[in-house]
Amino acid sequence: MTNIYQKASKLIKNIAVITAVLPMMAWANVSYQMSNPSSEKVNVRLALSRMEHSRGLSGIRPSDFPDTQSMLFVNDGMGDRRFWMPDTYFNLDIIFLDTDLKIVGIEKNVPFHPGMAEPPVIFRTKTYKAQFVLETKANAPFSKKLKVGDKLKWISPTPISEIVLKTRQLQ
């Protein structure tokens, strides 16, 4: 028979879990977009946690990731960022951004690698000092004309700074 303290403890744990998960579930329903200097827009999926960062676009088929889609890897600050492409099924443009969403590095048409084992060698980018990394399909109109020094614009009811704060809690 459980006593009142055990029930209260279980209730508190459940409330803590719900409090942590509900805001993230609400964020899943928010629409995020970015625009480039030509005012072209791309829808943004967020990668916030370490697990989401390591999974990235691995295993996603081209038909499940339209040209108008992107993935933004959010980090809590500037740091050395280097990406690799295991278990991917389409070429990517990988765009490294500073805290102001200015492009500090870009690698275009990065080759896919549909597996985790080498050979062949899995492509790895150079290392860039960045806070955010944006991945788009290599043939997406959004990234075609982008170059180092261009600045992207965040379009969302939730400021990117608030998302960065949430990222700190997840990592």
- How far apart are alpha carbons 48 and 43 in whole angstroms? 16
CATH class of 31-170: mainly beta
Cα–Cα distances in angstroms (integers) from residue 94 to residues 20, 24, 76, 104, in the given order: 31, 25, 19, 11
Handedness of CA 154, 156, 162, 168 (dihedral sign): negative
> pTM, whole model, 2 decimals?
0.82
Per-residue pLDDT of the chain (171 residues; tens, 9 = 90+): 556 766 656 656 545 444 444 444 444 456 899 999 999 999 999 999 989 999 999 999 999 999 999 999 999 999 999 999 899 999 999 999 999 999 999 999 999 998 888 888 889 999 999 999 999 999 899 999 999 999 999 999 999 999 999 877 766
SS3 category, 75: strand
